[in-house]
Structure 1
């Protein structure tokens, strides 16, 4: 008969002891479309979903700010979490490679995660210990109740804000604001 370890429930994962003074290291999660890659769906040729996705521009300031955040505040704990099917996931990987994203930001390419449903980002964030998340969709951020700091990024799209912003979301319009936040 196997003996159960102290602090562990039968059948569940072992949870490490986190005594007094324990503080979780900050970890950043970042969406891709509308946050890293500009969404320009009006002009199909330069849209990520059009015929030439590699030509879709990056959101202004994304490379510099993510490099600084990866190096300083989040000390290598930055992950990309994107909802994508196989075709969009392939386009995303190609775009990131084409723009030398991982070298320019210092984010390891192993920190790229795809989910099939937007709500599934919550599980990834919980598993990775994400404390801060940046997304351009309020409905996604609403699912991330384990993430302490949720940022609604509105700088990667030309769409105006037409919804009421809940108190748990911080609206940012450009990457420089995220550096300060």
Structure 2
């Protein structure tokens, strides 16, 4: 076997220098990041009788509008774990609140998965470089995402999503924020 043939059978690709710079792509979870979390027994949660009345997280529309235009150039995707009922409620909520017009995010950039770990292959396929979620366990799955942000400002139940709760032990690959204004500043600087 010649040297050229041996080189191709090792499974390693030959080095061809640095690749093209990746454009930043933002991924954002919905529940607890865009839509405020409420207790399951409340009427204004996605699980109650009036899901359209579930409030947005403070500052989310303004922050996403700025990020979608300036920093990410329209490359913003929503990636959410939801079954059929919650996915339908989410789409209805986004339409009811004028989400796409207010943020500039394309309506086709909404992706639903059935299991939290399934966000990882979606992020990889979309080339997501930055992701915001309110669950550390989800962020741990997203190994291909360079910038992972744990958002703790989207709950009003005093639980893990509450602004007043203590941050869990956070590994060095995650950045914790509690307000969209702060998060938008970090994301704009992380290009």
TM-score band w.r.t. shorter chain = 0.7 to 0.9
Question: What is the aligned residue count?
Answer: 166
In the superposition, the TM-score normalised over structure 1's length comes to 0.87
**Residue of structure 2 equivalent to 1:175:** 180
Aligned partner of residue 58 in structure 1, secondary structure: coil
Distance across 2 between alignment mates of 1:120 and 1:43: 27
SS at match of 2:43: helix
- State the alpha-carbon separation in 1 of the partners of residues 105 and 74 from structure 2: 7
For residue 65 of structure 1, give the secondary structure of its aligned residue in structure 2: helix
Q: 1:163 aligns with which of 148, 162, 168?
A: 168
RMSD: 1.8
**Other-structure match for 2:150:** 152
Q: Distance in 1 between matches of 2:76 and 2:109?
A: 7
When normalised by structure 2's length, the TM-score is 0.83
In the alignment, structure 2 segments of 5+ residues that lack a partner are: 1-15, 160-164, 187-191
Q: Contact 2:41 / 2:47 at 8 angstroms: preserved in 1?
A: no
Within a 5 Å distance, the mapping from 1:98-109 to structure 2 comes to: 98-109=96-107
**Counterpart-to-counterpart distance in 2, 1:48 and 1:126:** 28
Largest Rg, 1 or 2 = 2
Q: Which runs of 5+ in 1 are unaligned?
A: 1-17
